[in-house]
Copies of this chain bind each other. A is one copy, B any other.
């Protein structure tokens, strides 16, 4: 593995997550949209990408669940990254002149109380670190951005408030994706991710979950996504503790296959929490 694709500018949380796992052993390539990360991964069997899929303050990032559903990818590793936001402004700006705060919609959502208490107008942009670059390039002294504290140093900006998220106990969960199974240097619990679809009937989701409960397998996450064109029918994304190479997990998934109309396995991988 020589390079990994992420959405954002250098200094954003996706790039930090890659560095926490690989250090400087891989090239990190920033792209503008999540779709472009997925395109790079599906264009070339050797490519690896990273996508954020959940934040502990705002919840699942549904957009990326849908991207993973629609494309032939596997999950090959997971990082849960501790996330804090600083309010960052132009080095010559006066904090009192800051009226608007720019950041990624997910970042604005995580700092909702801070923004409303200080009467800052939130403005959505495509990336947390991208906003920092813009402030310097355009010499803007009237806007602030929300980003990781290291973004300030990288772009020569100043920090006027730290840890402004609604709750400091805040993590974003990222997955490494690829077309083929690849070795990722993550040591941690083994998890498996799947998605399945069932016809709506009394007790049907209960029946699906029973295959895991009866094998004493712990579910880490469940997320329902609508099926386009079939109102009120859903697909369920489920993460559980266990490895498809171990008989217990494999048997549960085999039992599930008997019940569901649709099943896709994203694979088994290791997961680690980093600060």
Say whether A206 contacts B213, CB under 8 Å.
yes
CB of A203 closer than 8 Å to a CB of B: yes
Known: A59-B62, A124-B124, A225-B59. Contact between A202 and B230, CB under 8 A? no
Inter-chain CA distance A61–B233, complex, in Å, is 16
Chain B residues within an 8 Å CB radius of A218: 200-203
Say whether B206 contacts A212, CB under 8 Å.
yes
Chain B residues within an 8 Å CB radius of A205: 209, 219, 222
CB of A26 closer than 8 Å to a CB of B: no
Partner-contacting stretch, out of A88-96, A148-156, A166-174: A166-174
A158 to chain B, nearest CB (A): 28
Query: How many residues on the A side are at the interface (Cβ–Cβ under 8 A)?
Result: 46
Can you list 22 pairs linking A and B with CB atoms under 8 Å apart?
A: A55-B226, A57-B226, A59-B224, A60-B62, A63-B109, A80-B231, A124-B124, A167-B228, A169-B231, A201-B218, A202-B212, A202-B219, A203-B212, A205-B209, A205-B219, A205-B222, A207-B213, A209-B209, A220-B232, A221-B232, A222-B222, A222-B224
CB of A42 closer than 8 Å to a CB of B: no
Say whether B59 contacts A228, CB under 8 Å.
no
Besides A170-B231, A223-B224, 6 new A-B residue pairs in contact (Cβ under 8 A), listed by A number: A56-B228, A59-B224, A60-B62, A203-B218, A205-B209, A221-B234
CB of A58 closer than 8 Å to a CB of B: yes
Say whether B216 contacts A202, CB under 8 Å.
yes
Which residues, 43 to 60 on A, are CB-close (under 8 Å) to B? 54-60
